[in-house]
Structure 1
């Protein structure tokens, strides 16, 4: 995921009322895996990606992503 895709995921989470910061797993490797965290502090943050996915799935009444995030491209 790149920064633009991460921003779309963050916007989607915000629209759904789900808290979370979308950030690279390794801040020094932005081309690597991205996750959802509970804060911006790299030292104390907690990975809440699975919780965010479960909330999205719950909001869509069981019809949602099972792995990863699917965010449509802007038209």
Structure 2
């Protein structure tokens, strides 16, 4: 992920009301892995990437239609 993609992810998290700071795993290597942390302070931050993924996955499952019909279209 590059910095632009990280900003897009951070924006998406904010829109969804999910806390987190998107930052490179190693601050001196922005080309490496990026993770989601609970704070911006590198000395005390905790990695919450897996928690955020679980929340997003849960919302994705819940986001489907709750009523309606699937109508096959003949070819």
Task: Report the counterpart of residue 22 of structure 1 in structure 2.
Answer: 22
Following TM superposition, the consecutive aligned residue runs of length 4 or more in structure 1 with deviations greater than 2 angstroms are: none
Aligned length: 63
What is the RMSD of the two structures over their aligned residues, measured on CA atoms? 1.3
The equivalent residue for 1:10 is 10
Give the CA deviation at 1:62. 6.4
TM-score by length of 1: 0.80
Q: Give the number of the structure with larger relative contact order, counting CA–CA contacts within 8 Å between residues 6 or more apart.
A: 1
Q: Secondary structure at the match of 2:26?
A: coil
What stretches of structure 1 of length at least 5 have no aligned partner? 64-75
* Distance of 1:49 and 1:32 partners within structure 2: 15
Whichever of the two has the greater Rg, that structure is 2
Tell me by how many angstroms 1:31 deviates.
0.4
Distance 2:33 2:23 in 1: 9
2:64 is the counterpart of 1:34: no
